[in-house]
Amino acid sequence: MERRIRTDAIGESPITRKGLLNMRTQDATGEIRGATSGPLAGGDRSFSGIRTFLRLPHPAELDVLSDADFAVIGLPFDTGVSYRPGARFGPSALRDISALLRPYNPALEVSLTEHLRGVDLGDAPVVAGNTSQSIAQMTDAISRVTARGVIPVGLGGDHTVSLPMLRAVAEHHGPVALLHFDSHPDTWDTLYGEKYNHGTPFRRAIEEGLILPGQSVQLGIRGTMLDAAVLRYSREVGFSVIPATALLGMSPDQLAERISGVLRNAPVFMSFDVDFLDPAYAPGTGTPEIGGPSTAQALGFLRALDLSNLVGLDCVEVLPAHDNAQITALAGATVVYEALCLHARSRLAAGEQ
Ligand SMILES: [Mn+2]
């Protein structure tokens, strides 16, 4: 088997790097340590340089993954949408605004890059208009990460991309617990008669044995539906469904207790659809639903959770053409950053750093 796989099939890299470099860090004296994402990007000037997610290095070859904890992969696919198209530009919007985020997270008292090493591999190849080909190619790209025991961080793209994410994750870890933030259950059987799109990824994942329904939770569900069948399905297969109205009546600690009782130490795949948030806080998405949490509430809920068993993560449905002032992209990028910080903190606590 070819061990040194070029990343050309995942994303084109103009920059060759030996080994991993951290996103830039600044110590107490103001001296710049670490490195930036490009050879000319300047120190702490986060507004300059070629954009990768969190200004992580973009390696030319996948062998650096042997030293990585997580790898970002753009999944610019939006052929699976039911309403507004345009989430294919989500990965670039998330990368762009992520330059604002810095390594130290004062709320969690953890520095992401001190405890986790990450890379941005660029985008998986997709074929706009061809869903099955795109799913196959995304699965192949993500599998190259999971095969090395590295956490894949998928930047969508519409929610269809969670199916290739879960296929790749389950191939390595077996079935996983799903921690799903969304205003929709995405467990419909078909949408417009089609089996593979952003309304069906978790139905297909259940059918394929990729997730453990009895150890999975769906948070923030709301919005109108044709009928009650889809919610009945989610509950009948064993998902814990926490509708937005119930969620907003819970404290972060109450939620954490409920969720830990559901996940029960299984490997966790977290999927964050930005329409989980109220459209006042995330207008740039394809199927917004009012009555959701604010970004402050979402961070409160998220920070109470235990993500020590995180094995995969995605953030989907950012639609830059409908975004205002990068509100939605900033929310999505920050949630990814916070989830990684939570994972870093739990590893720190476990003395694994
Ligand atoms: Mn969704």
List domains and CATH numbers for the chain.
Answer: 11-349 (3.40.800.10)
CA of 317 to the centre of ligand 1 (A): 7
Q: Identify each DSSP E strand in the chain by its residue range.
A: 25-26, 32-33, 70-75, 104-105, 110-111, 118-123, 151-156, 177-181, 217-221, 240-243, 268-273, 310-316
Question: Which residues are close to ligand 1, an ion, with C-beta < 5 A?
Answer: 159, 182, 186, 273
State the pLDDT confidence band at 62, using cuts at 50, 70 and 90: confident
Q: What percent of the chain has pLDDT over 90?
A: 80
Judged by average pLDDT, the poorest of 44-53, 81-90, 320-329 is 44-53
Structure token digits, residue 246: 């119930």
CA of 171 to the centre of ligand 1 (A): 22
Q: Do strands 32-33 and 25-26 pair parallel, antiparallel, or not at all (unpaired)? A: antiparallel
- Residue 219 to residue 250: CA distance in whole angstroms: 12
State mean pLDDT over 134-162.
97
CA of 158 to the centre of ligand 1 (A): 8
Predicted confidence (pLDDT) at residue 12 exceeds the cutoff of 60: no
Model's pTM, two decimal places?
A: 0.89
CA of 336 to the centre of ligand 1 (A): 16
CA of 29 to the centre of ligand 1 (A): 44
- Residue 345 to residue 107: CA distance in whole angstroms: 11
Phi, psi of 26 (to 5 degrees): -130, 125
pLDDT digits (tens, 9 = 90+) for 269-314: 999 999 999 999 999 999 999 999 999 999 999 999 999 999 999 9
pLDDT at residue 17, as a whole number: 36
CA of 94 to the centre of ligand 1 (A): 17
Judged by average pLDDT, the poorest of 1-10, 73-82, 173-182, 261-270 is 1-10
Report the chain's mean pLDDT, rounded to a whole number. 89
Predicted confidence (pLDDT) at residue 41 exceeds the cutoff of 50: no
CA of 289 to the centre of ligand 1 (A): 11
pLDDT at residue 151, as a whole number: 98
Judged by average pLDDT, the poorest of 32-46, 69-83, 138-152, 261-275 is 32-46
CA of 159 to the centre of ligand 1 (A): 5
Question: Can the peptide bond before residue 157 be classed as cis, meaning omega within 30 degrees of 0?
Answer: yes
State mean pLDDT over 224-234.
95
pLDDT at residue 9, as a whole number: 36
State mean pLDDT over 27-36.
39
